[in-house]
Amino acid sequence: MAFPLHIQNVDEDLAQELMEHYTGELTGFVRVGPSGYFLPHKYKEQAKDIYNMPIRSDDTFVVTYPRSGTTWTQELIWLLKNNLDFDTAKKTPLGNRFPYLEFSVLVHPVYEKFMIEENKESPARLSSVQAALLPSAQKAANIPSPRFIKSHLPLSLLPPGLLDTAKVVYVARDPRDAAVSHYHLSRLYRIQGAPKDFKTYWNYLIRGLHHFAPILDHIKEAWKLREHPNLLFIFYEDLSKDLPATIRRVAKFLGKQLTKDQILKLCDHLSFNNFKDNSAVNEMLLGKIDFLVKGEAPFIRKGKVGGWRDYFDAEMMEQADRWLLQNLADSDLRFPSWDLSYKTPSKGINAINVEYIRAKQGRD
């Protein structure tokens, strides 16, 4: 079928401004659909094929806004579906076991050539790079069943029959923490790039001007579908606060039964200290070539809930509260770690909306 959503090029002047920061993009950007999802220009080439990609009944998808617990959840799901095969998990890069669907959309053709050239002397790495760079639908078609697929695209840009056919685990995270983590990742990757200061990045993000944004629309799409039997909606904060309980939830959703001992082994494997030192998780296609910026934070960084407070000044905290209130006033979505930074609504904020949100959170 034809791709049903309007794709519009970002204004050339704005695109040029953004490309000074997002240095991995050399052509421009697009905004997609009513929410105006922000993506590299290359998305236009693959939108229809992704939307029409055949879904298999034994597929398992992890869908998130970037840096929302994606990798953590991928590893958990793969182990649950593969009878806790820790040995294979430790030996095989997660990207090979659980491929990133639209990775090629993010890699400009100029950088594609660099990646292939830099890896040509290592057949194994070259093969992995070439597989990762395949157009999304072709990549998915090449994965043997049962497939495990990661995507940062919102549900509205994925195949419309996805939830009626396959299992989807959606993970959401406090947007402020996700923003800090995505900022560091973008600065780490030369194929993305980010402003030198977080405040500039944040002001672009809340305008929906970063890959896969607007983040709240992304999350609200999944939240509205959380009762669908093939969708499990979980929060990053729950993974962090009570990993055993979240493991049980995911296992039940996937039809798996675990003993107490198996849950303990999973918790140990997935504990943050072990996870950040796991080479199969941290082995990145770009890690052995000159595409990682030296001195930037590693791929697995801190995983801290509420760490955003170290990056927001008072003005940004109030701005973030206002942004959250305005964008969630029409939804009962709440984040487990959300606590308003101020007690009295600031000028310009609808006090009714403030009370509405607080009531939804049991804070009235």
pLDDT tens-digit map of 194-231: 999 999 999 999 999 999 999 999 999 999 999 999 99
Question: Which regions of 160-305 does DSSP assign to beta strands (E)?
Answer: 167-172, 231-235
Same domain, yes or no: 298 and 330: no
The percent of residues in the chain predicted with pLDDT above 90, rounded, is 74
307 compared with 296, residue with greater pLDDT:
307
Same domain, yes or no: 226 and 201: yes
102: helix, strand or coil? coil
**pLDDT reported for residue 340:** 55
Question: Domain range holding 263?
Answer: 55-309
Give, rounded to a whole angstrom, the gap between the first and last alpha carbons of the chain. Answer: 47
* Max CA distance (Å), the chain: 63
**pLDDT reported for residue 303:** 61
Same domain, yes or no: 253 and 327: no
209: Cβ contacts below 8 Å, ≥ 6 apart: 14, 18, 38
C-beta of residue 240 within 8 angstroms of C-beta of residue 303: yes
Q: 163 in a domain, yes or no?
A: yes
CA distance 293 to 290: 8
**pLDDT reported for residue 125:** 81
Q: 35 in a domain, yes or no?
A: no
pLDDT tens-place string over residues 260-298: 999 999 999 998 777 766 666 765 544 444 454 444 444
Same domain, yes or no: 205 and 273: yes
CA distance 175 to 180: 9
Q: 13 in a domain, yes or no?
A: no
Give the chain's mean pLDDT.
Answer: 88
Q: What domain count does the chain have? A: 2
